[in-house]
């Protein structure tokens, strides 16, 4: 057996020089991203974790002194070109689940968790048995609700085949509890649901959006006419016939739309309530039987 000094033994790898390791690369990347993102350091960490093939938690606990991975610079360039982090890494955490996402599917946002919070508050110790998600995208709200209530089943509707491809991929862990259909809001749906969730397009066509949203996310999932209310006018009239007794419909809204959407809910025989997100912005209008 050769001893430790044998010339064929691999020599120890040198430690990375200052400026070449993960820690220094994160500092430099966060500085570059400061003009692109309000979460520059977080973005850099998520991209670095993806380049290393580890979780962000493992990155921070175990890999800050590793050499910078070769793949990181290309990921950083994509983010500097305003591509959403979720598209670059191919996934996004939401509520208690993680979703595969990519071009053609709306990126799940933390503000939308307000819809789940409203539903949990409504049902309390009870649980909805049947759930409808209108405009499901990659399955965001439906799959989060099914994870919250393990005995529930539901349907997700979307007009985008690309988004539904992600939804079906994300639904693999939910066996037969989730069904996804290509459709036009509630058209053709003729059953009643304990919980209706909807995150329709609500951006006015003249409104300005950040480049990462405007240039990358699907316009059909964002814009809804000049006032942003076109799709509410199609969804709300169907809520009464779709809601089961004791059920609730929960609609995401833009921060200036609470009064208009509430009036629409009231016009169609339901009682509205406005719910605020963690930033203090109106984020949800719920609808109950009067």
User: Which pLDDT score is estimated for 209?
Assistant: 94
User: Which of 289, 281, 240 is CA-nearest to residue 112?
Assistant: 281
Task: Give, in degrees to the nearest 5, the angle at Cα 193 between 246 and 165.
Answer: 145
CA distances to 27, 51, 89, 91 from 44, in Å? 8, 10, 12, 15
Look at residue 11 in the predicted model and tell me its pLDDT: 40
Nearest of 190, 168, 165, 164 to residue 177 by alpha carbon: 168
Query: What does the longest C-alpha to C-alpha distance in the chain come to?
Result: 87
Specify the CATH number for 96-289; select among 3.40.50.1370, 3.40.50.150, 1.10.3720.10, 2.60.260.20: 3.40.50.150
- What integer pLDDT is reported at residue 290 of this predicted model? 83
Contacts for 179 with CB less than 8 Å, ≥ 6 apart: 153, 154, 155, 156
Considering the chain, what is the average pLDDT of its residues?
A: 93
The continuous run of DSSP H or E covering 33 comes out as helix 22-33
CA count, 13 A, side-chain hemisphere, 159: 13
Domain with CATH 1.10.8.10 in the chain: 22-81
* The pair of three-digit structure tokens given for residue 277, joined into one six-digit string: 């997100």
Q: What is the pLDDT of residue 4?
A: 36
Which helix (H) or strand (E) is 282 found in, with range?
strand 282-289
CATH of domain 22-81: 1.10.8.10
User: Would strands 282-289 and 243-252 be described as parallel, antiparallel, or unpaired?
Assistant: antiparallel
Q: Among all chains, which residue has been given the structure tokens 């850099």?
A: 44
Radius of gyration of the chain (CA): 23
Looking at residue 20, its pLDDT comes to 72
pLDDT tens, N- to C-terminus, the chain (290 residues):
333 333 343 444 333 334 479 999 999 999 999 999 999 999 999 999 999 999 999 999 999 999 999 999 999 999 999 999 999 999 999 999 999 999 999 999 999 999 999 999 999 999 999 999 999 999 999 999 999 999 999 999 999 999 999 999 999 999 999 999 999 999 999 999 999 999 999 999 999 999 999 999 999 999 999 999 999 999 999 999 999 999 999 999 999 999 999 999 999 999 999 999 999 999 999 999 98
Q: What residues does CATH 3.40.50.150 cover in the chain?
A: 96-289
Distances from the Cα of 39 to the Cαs of 36, 163, 181, in angstroms?
9, 26, 35
Q: Look at residue 6 in the predicted model and tell me its pLDDT.
A: 39
pLDDT for 1 equals 31
């Amino acid at each position: 057996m050769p001893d430790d000094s044998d010339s064929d033994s691999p020599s120890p790898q040198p430690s990375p020089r200052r400026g070449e390791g993960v820690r220094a690369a994160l500092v430099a990347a966060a500085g570059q991203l400061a003009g692109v993102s309000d979460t520059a350091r977080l973005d850099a960490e998520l991209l670095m974790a993806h380049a290393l093939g580890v979780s962000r938690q493992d990155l921070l606990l175990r890999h800050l002194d590793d050499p910078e991975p070769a793949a990181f610079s290309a990921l950083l360039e994509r983010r500097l070109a305003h591509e959403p982090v979720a598209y670059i890494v191919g996934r996004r955490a939401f509520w208690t689940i993680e979703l595969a996402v990519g071009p053609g599917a709306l990126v799940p946002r933390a503000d939308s968790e307000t819809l789940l919070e409203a539903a949990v508050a409504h049902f309390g110790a009870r649980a909805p048995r049947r759930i409808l998600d209108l405009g499901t995208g990659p399955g965001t709200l439906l799959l989060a609700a099914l994870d919250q209530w393990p005995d529930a089943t539901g349907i997700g509707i979307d007009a985008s085949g690309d988004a539904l491809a992600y939804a079906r991929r994300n639904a693999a862990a939910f066996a037969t509890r989730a069904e996804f259909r290509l459709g036009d809001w509630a058209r053709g749906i003729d059953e009643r649901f304990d919980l209706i969730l909807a995150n329709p397009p609500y951006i006015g066509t003249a409104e300005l959006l950040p480049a990462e949203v405007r240039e990358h996310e699907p316009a059909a999932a964002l814009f809804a006419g000049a006032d942003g209310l076109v799709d509410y006018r199609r969804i709300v009239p169907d809520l009464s016939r779709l809601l089961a007794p004791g059920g609730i419909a929960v609609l995401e809204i833009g921060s200036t739309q609470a009064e208009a959407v509430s009036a629409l809910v009231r016009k169609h025989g339901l009682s509205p309530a406005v719910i605020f997100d963690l930033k203090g912005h109106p984020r949800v209008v719920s609808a109950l039987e009067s």
